[in-house]
Chains A and B, each alone.
Chain A
Amino acid sequence: MKTITLEEFLNDIDTLTIHFTLAAVLLPLLAFIINFSLPGRLHKLAGWVSTIAILLSCIISASVFSKVWNSHHVHQQMLWFTIGDTKVYAGVLLNNLSVLMLLLVNFIALPVHIYSTAYMKDDEGYNRYFAYLSFFCFSMLALVVADNLVLFYTFWELVGFSSYLLIGFWFTRDSAVQANKKAFIMNRVGDIGLLTAIIILFAQFHTFDISQLFADKGVISQSVIQGGTWIAPLGNMPAVWQYIACGGLFLAVAAKSAQFPLHTWLPDAMEGPTSISALIHAATMVAAGVFLLGRVYPLFNGAELTILALIGCFTAFMAATIALTQNDLKRILAYSTISQLGFMIMAMGIGAYASSLFHLATHAFFKCLLFLVAGIVIHQMAHIKKDNSLDIDPQNILTMGGLRKKLPLTFIAAIIGGLALVGLPLTSGYLSKDGILIQAFEWSDGKSGFYKIIPITAVLTTWLTAFYVARLILKVFFGELKVLSDHPGIQIHIGDGGWRYKLPLILLAVCCLFPLFSVSPLLYEQAWLFQGLTLTIRAVHANIYHTLIPVSVNILSVLVIYGAYMMYVKRKGNIFLQSGFLYRLSAGEWYFDRIYNSVIVKPILFLSTAAFWIDRTIIDGFINALADIGIKIAKLCAWIDHHIIDGFLNLLVVIVEAVGNFARRFQGGKVQYYLFSMLVIVLLLFILKTVF
């Protein structure tokens, strides 16, 4: 009997794990291929093909997760290609971060798939939708396990591309086409940043391998910046390249995760189906940016992290203020996503690495839940609109109200999701968000007063969050149904919908509560996810912040919600003016679109118009002039040909013809002519003979 050493045994297990991971990643791709090759009458199967693929993928990734989480890294690769002496390896890298994302993406995608089978059932592009959806999941899953920056970049692009397809799913609508174009172009800006960073990293470290670059003892942790030079084990280059690489990475993160200044695509991306919004906002698209930041975290140094924190903090605050005044249900949620992503980036910036990813995971659940809720609400409003042929916008929260009686389960789900978004105790959002706030205060402790601006803004943003979430839920679910009081006598037949609507809601709502993440409802340090991702193990800080901040933040949040309740439901003391500079700033979304339009889009359009004009008048003009000259020469040639060469020939012809006509007369078959000719000739001969 062959004896197996422990090492070989572990190796075999690792190989098995890698195979499992590949299966989990490739199953959605398989579903994508199947869905595209389904014959027309089997289109209705598309939903179940994708759903089963993602279900299997989910189960497999759960088993991978259980093997890898907190035990050891699994990393296997094979030679991909060789250029000169450079060997590029491709493979799968599984560590806590990637298995967490693997599970998270699958676990969010599963309810979205189930929900979509019902949500999209009447759509013409049912199989196209599921094909794209599977492709989207495949891209994201491959992205999280890729061990190589080139591979990573490939899937990064595929994520962007598939989101482009899905945002523009209803491509007959002009607004959807505009939105997906905007999303794609903005993401291109980030892609350029990522590509730049990858090129610089390769030039400096001569490898694309993520684990070699960014591991604990990786080459990046050994490189330092000294006196304007970036010193790495294999070479030096001016420090400015390090800044450019970080800037490029930041651009990539900002584009994918919708951070200032590249955030404006996300609200417009609401043109896609709501279930797609849920996926984009929760696990696939925007999470890719934060995930990238998690992967390349060691590259950033202190000052760069501070800039990151400032930008994240600003984005969080800005998006929250915009969300206050929006009336479109999905736009409010979109801005809240931007705001929460700002929190994650800020957390990365202040060194709260684990909290940031923890918040990414919890946010995925409650934001997905809220979007599915929004999908149901919008669907039901659209039903009311269709049944009664009303002219209302089914996404406008001002036409809603009182839906808690009609949609009880949706209402409960919305409450749970909303509370998690606000971050009230007993929810998962509390654990992750308060972790970020506490660490923000701790971070600013040892620094000058200027740095206090970050935690203070973050707390302010939390209260703003509480207000807009309260406004959203109160306007939609409380009070009277606005559309009914505006149009009395209309028929309303609406409800929560079938199990395919209810099951995802229940599943996600359960995941928004604390027990999934921590046994203790109040201490974020005890969350297993937080512990698994913490970079450096540090002693639990038992300072004043840990009690003061959660208590004060939450009490004030509750007060804010109460205030919103009094204002919107009881109609008492509306303290906010619907006019004024701040209101307009918020309702106009800080005029980013307008600024971008006038500063970037207009000049570029002008430039392209000018280039077009130059092309048309100067370059084309030159060509046209050449052509004109050619035509003139040709015409001259034609004239010469016609009048001189042909003319010469024609002259010959005329002469020959004349001669012929003349001669013909003597041969015309007329006997008397012959006789006459003969006579004349004989006479001539005689005359000539006489004369000479």
Chain B
Amino acid sequence: MISLNDFLIVSAVLFCIGLYMIVSKRNAIQILIGIELMLNAAILNLVAFGKYDRFFNGGQMFALFAIVLAAATTAVALAIILNVYRQYKTIDPGRIDKLGDE
């Protein structure tokens, strides 16, 4: 039987991988993937803790909302990255150091 601890460990591993990606990657898409990983770690936690609310299934419901919101934010983020690429001809966040018009 899979215990709650196993879920939490997987979630923590996922969160750490995501965090590492955000800090170390030189590509905005990969960073975005990192963010998604962290988000999914959180959703996993929600679902795992959802077993304590059998009556309302609040954890499951909140996870569904979170997945939809994550999809929306990813779409917005991708749009931003596309625009950033048009502006700077790069998507390395380390090299994007100028705001505003030329």
Contacts and interface: CB of A to CB of B under 8 A. Distances in A.
A670 B23 contact: no
Contacts of A671: 93-94, 96
Contact of B23 (A668, A669, A675): A675
A679 B16 CA distance: 11
Contacts of A676: 23
Interface string B21-32: 011100000010
Contacts of B67: none
A536 interface: no
B97 interface: yes
Contacts of B96: 671
B12 interface: no
A679 B93 contact: no
Contacts of A669: 97
B66 interface: no
A491 interface: no
Nearest to A671: B93
Contacts of A672: 22-24, 31, 93-94
Contacts of B94: 670-672
Interface of chain A: mostly helix, strand, loop or mixed: helix
Interface string A648-692: 000000000000000000001111100110010000000000000
A670 B97 contact: yes
A668 B95 CA distance: 10
A679 B23 CA distance: 9
B93 A670 contact: yes
Nearest to A680: B23
A676 B31 CA distance: 13
Chain A contact-residue range equals under 10
A442 to B, nearest CB: 128
A322 B11 CA distance: 138
Interface string B88-102: 000001101100000
Nearest to B26: A672
B22 A675 contact: yes
A669 B31 CA distance: 17
B33 interface: no
B19 A679 contact: yes
A340 to B, nearest CB: 110
A669 B96 CA distance: 8
B80 to A, nearest CB: 13
Contacts of B23: 672, 675-676, 679
Interface string B1-39: 000000000000000000100111000000100000000
> Of residues A668, A672, A675, which shows the largest number of chain B Cβ atoms within 10 Å of its Cβ?
A672
A672 B94 CA distance: 7
A668 B93 CA distance: 12
Contacts of B19: 679
A679 B94 CA distance: 17
Interface in A55-91: none
A668 B22 contact: no
A676 B24 CA distance: 9
Interface in B35-90: none
A669 B97 CA distance: 5
Nearest to B93: A671
Contacts of B22: 672, 675
A672 B24 CA distance: 7
A100 B24 CA distance: 126
Contacts of B31: 672
Contacts of A679: 19, 23
Interface in A380-435: none
A671 B96 CA distance: 9
A679 B21 CA distance: 13
Nearest to B23: A676
A672 B22 CA distance: 7
Nearest to B22: A675
6 contacts: A669-B97, A670-B93, A670-B97, A671-B94, A672-B23, A675-B22
10 tightest A-B CB contacts, nearest first: A669-B97, A676-B23, A670-B94, A671-B93, A672-B23, A675-B23, A672-B93, A675-B22, A672-B94, A679-B23
Interface of B: 19, 22-24, 31, 93-94, 96-97
Given A672-B22, A672-B94, 8 more contacts: A669-B97, A670-B97, A671-B93, A672-B24, A672-B31, A675-B22, A676-B23, A679-B23
